[in-house]
Amino acid sequence: MTIASLQAVPKLQSVVGDHGTVSSYTRESQINVTPTCTLTIEFAETASAEGMAAVLSEVAPLDRYGACQVDGANIANLSSRGKLFVDPDAWETISPEGWRAVAEKLTLPDAVWISLHMDTASVLTSHAVSADPFYIGRAVSDDEYSAFVSMLGSLTEGTPLEETIGPIRWKLDWSHRASAFTGVRITTDATTPPAELAVLLDALTPYLDGRTTSVDSLSFDVEGGSMVTHVALTQPDDGAIEIIKREFETSGLRGEIEFSTRASGE
């Protein structure tokens, strides 16, 4: 596989050009070990969304890289930029418009991890089995709540990805060990979270971004077109419920809102 890599890297680098570099990982054939050659694109920090999209749309066809597979791309300084994982078939099927939409999300500050899967393997969700091919996810711990809300707002702006590349499952999590409000979980089965969700979470910042609130956590789920926002409380609090209901209505977020109170001793 070392020889395959030496032959494939220059071919992919000619596609990437000045927008970044190509790295390779190889594993030679051994007993019970399958030989592997994997190529990864690392875009420069200065690469624009337009430049990245141009590169991603030219990676296919993959047969020119011989035995090597192109597994995706990342951006230098991953602490604040996204990473892309791509199944082989996805390189061949996503349009230039789709790659532009993906690149725009990757270049956002604190971007998500995007996986583009074209296989038929089912993925178990909280309520059902979904075979949606594309997945976007990010887990954030101990960052500021306001930073998470800002990231969500950026991700939900512009043209929804599903309009250019197809159905997308989202899973975004935020948690904080030192805050009274411990976390947010957002999951969808085939669509980008609505922009109104970011509006709601932003409006709730004064009530949630601190150490003295009766609100424990908030979750937002979309399944089969049905939207449910669930708020968990640590103790009964009619005042908090009234505030959240009011901001929910003001935000324009569709669907139902539910409340629950943690049982004593939990």
- The answer to whether 41 and 73 are in contact (CB under 8 A) is yes
Within 10 angstroms of residue 18's Cβ, the number of other Cβ atoms is 9
* CA gap 192, 241 in Å, rounded: 26
DSSP one-letter string for the chain:
-HHHHHHHHHHHHHHHGGGEEEEEEEE--BTTB--EEEEEEEE-TT--HHHHHHHHTTS--GGGGTT-EEEEEEESSTTSS-EEEE-HHHHHH--HHHHHHHHHHHTSTTPPEEEE--S---EE-SSSEE--SEEEEEEEESS-HHHHHHHHHHHHSSS-THHHH--EEEEEEEE-TTSSS-EEEEEESSSPPPHHHHHHHHHTHHHHSSS--SEEEEEEEEETTEEEEEEEESS--HHHHHHHHHHHHHHT--SEEEEEEPPTT-
Digit-by-digit pLDDT tens for the chain (266 residues) are: 889 999 999 999 999 999 999 999 998 878 877 889 999 999 998 899 999 999 999 999 999 999 999 998 988 776 556 788 888 878 888 889 989 988 888 887 666 678 776 543 333 333 333 445 577 777 777 678 888 888 888 888 877 788 888 788 888 888 887 778 888 999 988 788 999 999 999 999 888 876 678 888 999 999 888 899 999 998 888 999 999 999 999 999 999 999 999 754 34
Residue 211 pLDDT: 65
pTM equals: 0.77
State the sign of the Cα–Cα–Cα–Cα dihedral 245, 249, 250, 253: positive
Exposure string for 193-208, b = 16+ CB within 10 A, e = fewer: bbbbbbbbbbbbeebb
Residue 52 pLDDT: 94
Paired strand residues for 171: 137, 187
The Cα-based distances of 98 to 101, 116, 251 in angstroms read 5, 11, 29
DSSP one-letter string for 13-71:
HHHHGGGEEEEEEEE--BTTB--EEEEEEEE-TT--HHHHHHHHTTS--GGGGTT-EEE
Phi and psi dihedrals of 41, rounded to 5? Answer: -90, 130
Residue 78 pLDDT: 60
